[in-house]
Amino acid sequence: MQDYLIELVKNAGADAWEINDVQKNGWEFYFIKHKLDQNRVKNTEHTTVKLFKKSADGQYLGSAVSEIAPTASKEEAETILKKLLFQASLVKNPVYTLNEKKEVAVKETSFDVSAIARNFIEVMQELPETDTEYINSYEIFVNGITRRFLNSNRIDVTASYPSSMIEVVVNARNEGHEIELYRNYTSGSCDAAALKENLKKTLLYGRDRLKTQMTPALGNMDIVLTTDAALEVYQYFANRMSCGYKYQGLSDYELGEPVIKDAAGDKLTITARASLPNSSGNCPFDAEGAPVRDLTIIKDTKAEHFWGSRQFASYLKAEDSFIVGNFEVAGGAKTSEELLGGEYLEIVEFSDFQVDPMTGSIAGEIRLGYLHKNDETRIVSGGSVSGNMHKAASGLHFSSETVQYDNYIIPAVTRLTLTVTGVE
């Protein structure tokens, strides 16, 4: 970002301002089987400016935001700023103040985009594939990000960190039939051991998917989630604790009150974490320049702190809040082994499992499940699960062991009762 742009913003006539500048050096490799489909590099910079304007009576604070391209001329930048100031004057939101300058612990992070990319390629070459369970295709994305945030309250912080993603499609086949499983992993850099372990398991799931029977109509049934699909369950609670949801009336949670009515399951504790090992959410400050730290959001099922953007946090008087990048859900009372008892359907593949944070609706088509019933295990596919978290949450159980999926640590096993639709 050129310095003259900062000066233009400072002198634009706004009552307050923010600048977010993100430079990205991205390396991408796309493979079909293990042959390179194409390689890509991106070198980009995105500078986003937000201007704030108070109403004449001081009651309202409006804002408007725009990207100013690095190729914009000085005249073009001035025109954009003038427009932003006008747009901000049209917006009538209650007054709030921007984040103040505070100490931010920025650790020097050393990373090498090319080395991370190489790690990913090598992991994929070392998987235990067979003639019947193998990799169909994969896409590797490694970004080195440098983010700088400045505002009119003297904040000026910069951090650099890696952010990676790999999408993998696994195939399995027998005589006359072939199936696929889809995986998408995000992380900071490449955790070779975890990725290898997870993909080994996926190859085994692929083999099982070839042996499935149609899921029977089970009606109300205990569902067990042991993959990242369970994130949806915990994100439902985390989202409803966000200041935006609360202020806009989309969440009925109250501080000090239980977030689950008539809870008969495990006690839920969710904590914001300043950092987690190899998380892509590890930036020492949030999108508005607030330093991130550990903060308890829900403690023993009771709402403790709302979290979120400065605007909505200010309206809720959650003054010490910030936009959370990492969450940790504490484990429950029982071990995974203890939770995997009785009759239940463990679902390890959905087409798309969703819990709507606004309505609580739960839905997902089953692509691979293990039905434990009548002292036998059947491998099933097809049909769907449905329900609503308002009801299902009261019987939510989860394991004492936890597992990390990028920027979330959650219990390894999650168990709740839902409706299963299948063949009659």
Partner 1 sequence: MKAPFSPYLTGIAPAIKRLIAILGERYEYVSILSTDSSGFRMSVGQRAVSVANATMMTERGNVVRVMKDGLVSEYAFNTFDPEHPEKTAEEAMKALDAQFEILKITGSEVYETGLLDDEPLTLFVEYETETLPETCDQEALIAELTEISNLTMEKGEGLIDARLNAQSTHISKMFISKNRDMRQSYVYSEGGLIPIAFKNGKNSFTNAGVSGRVGPELFRQLRDKIDDALKVVGELLDAGTIEPGEYDIIASPEVSGLIAHEAFGHGVEMDMFVKGRALGVDYIDKRVGSDLVTMHEGALCATNVTTYAFDDEGTPAGDVIEIDHGILKTGICDALSAKRLGTRPTGNGKRENFEHKVYTRMTNTVFDSGNDNLDAMIASIDHGYLLCGMRSGMEDPKHWGIQCIIERGYEIKDGKLTGKIVAPIVMTGYVPDLLGSVSMASNDREIFGCGGCGKGYKEWVKVADGGPYLKAKARLG
* Contact positions with partner 1 (CB under 8 A) in 162-181: 165, 167, 169, 171, 178-180
Q: Is 87 in the site for partner 1 (CB under 8 A)?
A: yes
Of residues 146 and 384, the one with the C-beta less far from partner 1: 384
Which residue, 40 or 74, is less far from partner 1 as judged by CB?
40
If the CB atoms of residues 206 and 284 are measured against partner 1, the closer one turns out to be 206
Region binding partner 1 by CB under 8 A among candidate stretches 28-36, 99-107, 228-236, 397-405: 28-36
What is the footprint of partner 1 within residues 262-321 (CB under 8 A)?
Answer: 311-312
Task: Single out the residue of 255, 317, 313, 247 nearest to residue 286, CA to CA.
Answer: 313
DSSP state of 145: E
CB of 172 to partner 1, least distance (A): 11
Nearest CA-CA partner of 380 in 172, 204, 213: 213
Query: Is 118 or 378 the residue whose CB approaches partner 1 more closely?
Result: 118
User: How is the chain split among helix, strand and coil, in percent rounded to 5?
Assistant: 20, 40, 35
- Relative to beta strand 408-411, strand 327-329 is parallel
Q: Does 354 contact partner 1 by CB under 8 A? A: yes
Q: Say whether residue 63 binds partner 1 (CB under 8 A).
A: yes
| Adjacent-strand bridge partners of 142 | 27, 164
Q: Tokens 């463990």 identify what position? A: 346
DSSP helix/strand/coil, 296:
strand
Contact between 40 and partner 1 per CB under 8 A: yes
Nearer to partner 1, 24 or 293 (CB): 24
Which of 66, 109, 132, 235 contacts partner 1 by CB under 8 A? 66
Residues 6+ apart with CB under 8 A from 141: 26, 27, 28, 164, 165, 166
Residue position matching structure tokens 């607030």: 290
Segment near partner 1 (CB under 8 A); pick from 79-87, 148-156, 192-200, 293-301:
79-87
Angle between helices 192-209 and 113-125 (to 10 degrees): 30
Residues 187-226 interacting with partner 1 (rule: CB under 8 A): 217, 219
